[in-house]
Chain A
């Protein structure tokens, strides 16, 4: 039995790797994507372009201006002289924010009355707008504190002392890049496995296979292993890129990480074979793969938190293997979560994989 499975596995490997096109499709796009997406997928804002509209040419308002100019988060790209210019700058996306200091600013300051600075942000991208507002408030708060201290005023009350654990500088790359590991592993394994049976069906070799003394379980294992091994290999390369190129700290245990990788591959290979066993043609296999991969990516917490989803959709995410893997890989990478705390993520992966494998094996003989 072992020898036959080995022969089947070697055959699968050769079938995938002997063809130059499929070699390229399997190895090149993931590497390019991890690099490009690793840089592209970021929520971090740096150098927000803004315009200054200062109608109060006093020392104090210039000090406030300097606060913004000195912040690494902002970049002044225009100065405005007339009110009418605000709209055109924001409309055209030349600036994300306009700071408007009114003519009474220094007078109000001098009299101890609250002076107003108007912060106008472009809300088209709500996320950027929110971050921009937060950054602007930080700059103004520190200005207030310094001003109060320098002028002997009571100043604003206690500030919050904020710390972020696991990712002290709040770099979204630390969050996204490990996610990309999961994304690419899913895409590659599903593409490799979802078409493997359909391709043989179209070429007629699946019949040939079924009339040999192979048992369905042997065929299943022989078909699952190559996707699995390619997946582990690719995972290793992408994890190395994550650690050494993107410098995402790997806090946890490598063995725990690989336990997660192996179980995730097991479940996604299972889904791939399931799709494969259901489809009679490669086109159906491809559509099936597509209909699984796209929602799996969206509903995994890869880019946006699952907690933000409505209740019903949150329930659906429990069927998604990628959801569990996102928690595992981010936990191991950034928090150093130990194995024991991840068991709640491991067993659903194993269950999804097992369920799909068994069903796929059963379907091999049914759908002919």
Chain B
């Protein structure tokens, strides 16, 4: 009974912090291993989302259906139509007249009409213009602009080839020499897939922790846990470490798939990627913890995780829409989205390399957000009910 009083006295002081933390972490891992849904969220979801998004989101138009209408078909117009046929961007359909072409455009069978007017052979070498009319369906403005650009490209290339064949070079005072850095083929996948990693990590980090913490509250285990001599820091760290490891597992999986399946080059170094991901994951986990601590209920936590993480990460992060094109007030809002910093790092790291002036300030912002979220979660979750 002496021993009894001794151990009962003050185990917190008997240096049990390591033991307590180890116990919490082991418990968390056992739970993860036995709960197929957390494994599914951590590993199956990244694969599924990466496949779906990686293939589903593309800005590269290929085989755009266009209607070709020549008012006076002849060898020149045939040769021009041939240029469209050879381009991988277009799937041209020759139509007899504008009426058919307009009907096709209205019913969305074609995205654009290339209308070759009379006297094409004569007027194509003159500067007066207006010999070819291009009508695009402008509903999807971005796509329309890209189609316009592609048509210009085909036209310029065809003219060049014609001129060369006829031995009379074109008179172009200033010629453009394009140099596209980092993504010379301008593949949108190279730009989208790295950003996707951030979206997926947001989902895993925030959703998983938000649900897991709320579950402990709902099942009443949190009450039994915090009445033991653990400190709240140990509870938070005990949650963070297992889900950090799980999240990094998902991260490695995503990176391997990006490089292996989608062929996105990774120019920067792996350890920078590792560090930046760690910072972002901490911020995402912190956000999840904060949501769950405030909500204490799986329903509200889950809803908040969708509304506060997924949609902003999708639209306000620079993942798809360029932040610098947004109006100033919206740009200010984007600073509160952790994903924006990580996406900036990822796009640079994958395509350009270790460019410190980009990586460092964004990493600092992530560090700040991680600290803020974790600190808030820690403060909000005191050992009281």
Contact = CB atoms under 8 A, between A and B. Distances in A.
Interface residues of A, number: 103
A347 to B, nearest CB: 16
A120 B52 contact: no
B327 A114 contact: no
Interface string B60-95: 111010000000000000000000000000000000
B294 to A, nearest CB: 12
A120 B179 contact: yes
A310 B159 contact: no
B159 A157 contact: yes
Contacts, number: 306
B320 interface: yes
B12 interface: no
Nearest to B52: A295
Given A46-B325, A294-B310, A308 B152 contact: no
A117 B175 contact: yes
Given A36-B333, A119-B177, A298 B53 contact: yes
Given A91-B357, A126-B59, A158-B128, A299 B52 contact: yes
B61 A305 contact: yes
A168 B149 contact: no
A250 to B, nearest CB: 14
B141 A174 contact: yes
B367 to A, nearest CB: 20
Contacts of B347: 124-125
A21 B297 CA distance: 13
B131 interface: yes
Interface in A79-105: 88, 90-93
Given A33-B311, A147-B173, A158-B130, A309 B124 contact: no
A25 interface: yes
Given A21-B300, A298-B56, A309-B56, A165 B138 contact: yes
B363 to A, nearest CB: 14
A206 interface: no
Interface in A269-307: 282-283, 286-287, 290, 293-295, 297-299, 303-305, 307
Interface string B257-300: 00000000000000000000000000000000000000000111
Contacts of B152: 134, 137, 160
A130 B186 contact: yes
B138 A168 contact: yes
B127 A45 contact: no
B146 interface: yes
A22 to B, nearest CB: 9
A167 B141 contact: yes
A145 B127 CA distance: 8
A127 interface: yes
Interface string B296-331: 001110110011001100111010111011110110
A153 B173 contact: yes
A118 B127 CA distance: 24
Contacts of B355: 91-92
Interface of A: 21, 25, 29, 33, 36-37, 39-46, 49, 64, 88, 90-93, 109, 112, 114-131, 133-134, 136-137, 140, 143-145, 147-149, 153-168, 170-172, 174-175, 187, 191, 195, 199, 282-283, 286-287, 290, 293-295, 297-299, 303-305, 307-310, 313, 327, 330-331, 334-335, 337, 341
Interface of B: 37, 49, 52-53, 55-62, 64, 105-108, 111, 123-146, 148-149, 151-152, 155, 159, 170-184, 186-188, 190-191, 207, 211, 298-300, 302-303, 306-307, 310-311, 314-316, 318, 320-322, 324-327, 329-330, 333-334, 347-348, 351-352, 355, 357-358
Q: Which 9 A-B pairs have the closest CB atoms?
A: A164-B138, A167-B138, A123-B183, A43-B142, A172-B141, A286-B302, A308-B58, A170-B141, A134-B149
